[in-house]
């Protein structure tokens, strides 16, 4: 039996898909938001793409610590099964 919260979440997901907001796009947005919110990365230099549960990170960062933070932010997002890290340290 579904709780009211689960029913609302499912209804929201159906609404998003009906209006062209795919789960992959939403996950990509969440990853980008996590990069901006939880790290001090210059996220405009990181491109995030998502397909079939696989996230690919591309771009340049200033340190290996920033690279690791981006990788961790991608992994922490719901629905992510694999992260391909193509980030380069400047």
The pLDDT tens digits along the chain (90 residues) read: 444 444 444 444 444 455 566 888 888 888 877 776 655 556 678 899 999 999 999 999 888 988 998 899 899 888 999 999 999 998
**Residue 3 and residue 9: Cα distance in Å, rounded?**
10
| pLDDT at residue 52 in the model | 93
In this prediction the pTM is 0.58
- H or E element: which one contains 57? strand 54-61
């Amino acid at each position: 039996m579904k709780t009211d919260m689960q029913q609302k979440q499912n209804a929201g997901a159906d609404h998003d898909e009906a209006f062209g907001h795919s789960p992959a796009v939403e996950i990509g947005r969440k990853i980008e938001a996590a990069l901006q919110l939880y790290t001090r990365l210059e996220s405009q230099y990181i491109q995030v793409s998502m397909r079939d549960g696989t996230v690919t990170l591309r771009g340049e960062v200033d340190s290996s610590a920033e690279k690791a933070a981006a990788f961790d932010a991608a992994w922490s997002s719901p629905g992510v099964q694999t992260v391909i890290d193509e980030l380069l340290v400047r």
